Amino acid sequence: MNIVKGECCYEDKELEIPVIVHKLQALSERMKDSSSKLPHVKSDLSKFLSGYNGEKSLEFHLTFLQNDLYHILHDVRLHDGERFFQIDVLIISPFFAVIAEVKNLSGHITFDGKFSQLIQTKNGQERAFPDPLLQVQRQITQFRAWLKKSSLPQVPLHGMIVMSNPYSVLTSTDYEADNLIVKPPSLLSSIDTIKKQYDKPFISQKELKKLTKQILIQHELDERPILDRYGLERTDIINGVFCPECKSFPMRRIYKYWTCPRCSCRSTSAHLSALKDYYLLFGKTITSKQLREFLMIDSYQLATRLLQSTPT
């Protein structure tokens, strides 16, 4: 049986919490504490949450762009014919498009052009990251390939590195792309500077709408099973219904209620959160046997009732 049915269609791709964040939250809560891979999962969850918060900090500044001139799409994932690529923020106008790579890093950030890396110094420790300029350049190449594959007009493409953390200190050494590094308050002025390079549009408003529509149609979520991503087995996951009050588990099904043996909380709907976890970890379909095992109940009739009463 399907746990979740139906999909929503949107005219614009607005910023929302990525599915990977929801999956990692469910996974981190249901992994056994003894698992050696739990720190890796929690580290990735922190990284993806930081990325989302970085993009969220841009929202206010992006609202000042003309609605009739710019289309803004967040977290676009497309296939260029050979491989998938993901763009943090894509800003499209009839004149040009901007691919923005957003980094939400704190501390002292150095852009090292000589060795093509980004170095974060924080709390006396240094950590190296790939050069975001190389990421942007690769995304531009792949987006051009996607436009060609989709028989869409080749609008001029510009890259931008947005350092969203307001407290980070930025420096660079031998970095030729300093002009591409911006903080959110200067994002609009940087876009205006690009706009001044063009006297006339490359595509019409009608073509712009077609381009945006095709991006939304061809955007694909990363549907790889989250357990496969970390080499986990079904046995690594904790079964049971979590208490909505004290978060202990498993709650026991007594008559019409889920009852917590620790705090005595009673709920008629606590299983819905567990079913959401199942969906995020294992997919949209579930059998009666799988439901009984996951919710830790014995009754086939109860399992059937719970499935039938689950909102879709």
Region of poorest pLDDT, from 9-13, 82-86, 101-105, 206-210: 9-13
Least confident range from 55-59, 208-212, 272-276: namely 55-59
Q: What pLDDT, on a 0 to 100 scale, did the predictor assign at position 138?
A: 97
Last residue of a domain, one of 185, 218, 251: 218
Q: Is residue 231 part of a domain?
A: no
Sign of CA dihedral 155, 137, 14, 225: positive
Q: Are residues 178 and 257 in the same domain?
A: no
Domain identity same for 208 and 243: no
Residue 51: inside a domain, yes or no? yes
Provide the CB-side half-sphere exposure for 238 (13 A, CA): 18
Q: In this structure, are 118 and 35 located in the same domain? A: yes
Q: Are residues 250 and 152 in the same domain?
A: no
Could you count the other beta carbons within 10 Å of the beta carbon of residue 45?
17
Establish how many alpha carbons lie within 13 A of residue 217's alpha carbon, considering only the half-sphere containing its beta carbon: 8
CA distances from 138 to 47, 120, 133 (A): 21, 22, 9
Claim to verify: residue 42 and residue 104 sit in the same structural domain: yes
Structure tokens at 198: 């063009």
Q: pLDDT value at position 312? A: 61
Check residue 306 and give its pLDDT.
85
192 and 51 part of one domain: yes
| C-alpha distances in Å from residue 287, one per residue of 2, 3, 67, 284 | 9, 10, 47, 10
Same domain assignment for residues 250 and 185: no
CA distance 306 to 288: 10
| Residues 214, 244 within the same domain | no
For residue 12, is pLDDT > 80?
no
Look at residue 182 and tell me if it is in a domain.
yes
How many C-beta neighbours within 10 Å does residue 90 have?
22
Q: Looking at the 3D structure of the chain, how many domains does it have?
A: 2
Tell me, yes or no, whether 129 lies in a domain: yes
Given 218, 248, 270, the domain boundary residue is 218
Q: 302 and 156 in one domain?
A: no
Residues 156 and 254 in one domain: no
C-alpha 139/C-alpha 226 separation (Å) is 25
Looking at residue 304, its pLDDT comes to: 84
Residue 36 in any domain: the answer is: yes
Determine, yes or no, domain membership for 228.
no
CB 42 within 8 A of CB 28: yes
Q: Is residue 224 part of a domain?
A: no
56, 100: one domain: yes
| Domain annotation covers residue 109 | yes
Question: The pTM is what?
Answer: 0.84
Residues 57 and 124 both lie in one domain = yes
- The residue range of the domain holding 265 is 239-308
pLDDT at 204: 93
Give how far Cα 271 sits from Cα of 6, 31, 165, 252, 296, Å.
Answer: 21, 18, 38, 11, 11
- Domain C-terminal end among 186, 218, 250: 218
